[in-house]
């Protein structure tokens, strides 16, 4: 519970220039998938320790985890209304 509070605060701080509705979506994604994003953060740190810059390391991780990221994004995509 405390961890989620601090993650939310950190995200709000980092995303203050992002429109409120998009910010809430991003925070929701992180809140619903904390283990995945914690693993991603650890892998990012490891790649950077190996000498990669943050941008290159993140790009590689996004490719490596694209299936999981796609699933997470799909779960949070707006649903089409059936009339």
- Residue 36 is predicted with a pLDDT of 94
Average pLDDT value for residue range 20-29: 90
| Both tokens assigned to 78 | 């707006």
- Residue 59 is predicted with a pLDDT of 95
CA distance 5 to 31: 10
- Residue 1 is predicted with a pLDDT of 65
Query: pTM value?
Result: 0.75
CA distance 25 to 71: 15
């Amino acid at each position: 519970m405390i961890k989620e509070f601090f993650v939310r605060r950190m995200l709000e701080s980092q995303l203050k220039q992002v429109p409120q509705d998009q910010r809430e979506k991003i925070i929701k994604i992180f809140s619903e998938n904390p283990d995945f994003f914690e693993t991603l953060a650890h892998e990012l740190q490891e790649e950077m320790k190996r000498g990669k810059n943050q941008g290159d390391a993140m790009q590689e991780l996004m490719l490596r985890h694209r299936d999981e990221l796609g699933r997470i994004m799909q779960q949070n995509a707006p649903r089409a209304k059936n009339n």
